Amino acid sequence: MMAVGLAFIYVPLVVIVVNSFNASTVFAWPPRRLTTTWWSQTAGNPSVRAAVATSLEVAVVATAVALVLGTLLAFALARYSFFGRQALSLLVVLPIALPGIVTALAFRTGFRTFLGLELSIWTVAVAHATFCVVIVYNNAVARLRRTGLAPEEASMDLGADGFTTFRLVTFPLLRGAILAGALLAFGLSFDEIVVTLFTAPPGVTTLPIWIFQNLQRPNQAPVVNVVAAVLVLVSVVPIYLSQRFAGESTAGGRI
C-alpha cells in the first residue's frame, strides 16, 4: 500500500520531468524522441525571466512581513493566556483553512471596495504575507512549546536582563525554527496562484500566473514543460534546507 501510495505521488512528477525532454511539441506517452533544445530555449526566454523576478519580489516582501508577524504571534500565544486567545489562534489559520476561492475573493473586495486600493504588486504581497503568517507561526510555536521557559529563567537567574536573555538564549534557540518557517513561507508565496489571480492587476505576472496563461497556448507547451520540470526539481530544496535548519522532520507547518 505504501508502494502504491508513493507511486501515486511520484509517477506524475516523473512524467513532467521526462516530458520536458520530449522532442514533439504535442504530449503523447510514451515520448518517441528526446531532446535538450527546449531547455536551452527556456533559459533565455525573457517572459519567463521577468515572471521569476516578479515572483521573487513578492515572495521576499511577503516572507519578511510574515516573519515578523508570525514570530510575535508565536510568543504571544505560546507564552501568555489572555481573553480571545482561542479566537486569535483560529484567525491565524483561517486564511489557509477557508476555501481558497473565498480567501481570494475576500482579498479582492477588501482591497478594492473596502480599502479603496488599486491592485498592484503590493496587494499581491500583502495577501501572500497574510497567509504566510501561519507557516512561520506554526514553526515558531512548536519550538517555543518544546523548549519551555527553563533556559530563559536560568539566564535571568544568572543575572542577564530581558534583552540580553533574548539575544543570547531565546533567539538562538528559536533561530532554526524561524529560518525553516521563513523558507517554507517563501516557497508557498512563490508557488501561489489561487489568491494571486484575484489580487494581481493585469501586467503583474508571477511565475504561476505565467504558467497558467501559457497552459492554453499550444506553441508555448515545450517552454511550459521545462519550467514545470525545473519547479519539480527545485521543490526538493526547501524541504531539505528546512529539515537541516529545524533539525526535525516537519511538514513545514503547512499543516
Partner 1 sequence: MSALATDVRGERPAPSLRRRLSAALFRHPRVRLAGLLALPTAWLVLVYLSALASLLVTAFFTVDEFTNAVVRRFTLGNVRDVLSSPAYLGAALRTVAIAVAVTVLCALLGFPMAFFMAKVAPPRARNLLVALVVTPLWASYLVKVYAWQAMVQPGTGLLAWLLKPFGLSSPGYGVTATVLTLTYLWLPYMVLPVYAGLGRMPDSLLDASGDLGARPARTVRSVVVPLIWPSIVAGSVFTFSLSLGDYITVQIVGGRTQMIGNIVYQTYASNLPFAAAIALIPVAVMVVYLTLVRRTGALDNL
Subset of 45-84 contacting partner 1 (CB under 8 A): 65, 68-70, 72-73, 75-76, 80, 82
Distance between start and end Cα atoms, the chain: 23
| Dihedral pair phi/psi, residue 34, rounded to 5° | -110, 150
Out of 2, 33, 46, 150, which residue is the one contacting partner 1 (CB under 8 A)?
2
Using rule CB under 8 A, residue 191 touches partner 1: yes
When asked if residue 121 is in the footprint of partner 1 (CB under 8 A), the reply is no
Q: Write out the three cell numbers for 15.
A: 512524467
Instruction: For the segment 137-156, give every residue that binds partner 1 (CB under 8 A).
Output: 156
**Which CB atom, from 46 or from 202, has the smaller least distance to partner 1?**
202
By CB under 8 A, tell whether 219 contacts partner 1.
Answer: no
What's the sign of the alpha-carbon dihedral 189, 194, 198, 204?
Answer: positive
d(CA 120, CA 234): 28
227-246: which residues touch partner 1 (CB under 8 A)?
228, 231-232, 235-236, 238-239, 243
Cβ 162 to partner 1 shortest distance, Å: 4
Name 147's bridge partners.
none
Query: Looking at 62, 111, 140, 181, which residue binds partner 1 (CB under 8 A)?
Result: 111
Binding partner 1 (rule: CB under 8 A), the pick from 34, 53, 102, 168 is 102
Q: How far is the CB of 42 from partner 1 (least distance, A)?
A: 14
Q: Please report whether residue 172 would count as binding partner 1 according to CB under 8 A.
A: no
Query: CB–CB of 151/169 below 8 Å?
Result: yes
d(CA 27, CA 220): 12
Q: Is 193 in the site for partner 1 (CB under 8 A)?
A: yes
What sections of the chain are H helices per DSSP? Answer: 2-19, 37-43, 46-79, 85-97, 100-109, 121-147, 150-157, 162-165, 171-191, 196-199, 207-215, 221-234, 236-246
Residue 251 in the binding site for partner 1 (CB under 8 A): yes
Residue 15 touches partner 1, criterion: CB under 8 A = yes
Part of the chain binding partner 1 (CB under 8 A), chosen from 14-22, 35-43, 45-53, 174-182: 14-22
**146 class by beta-carbon count within 10 Å (0-12 exposed, 13-18 middle, 19+ buried):** exposed
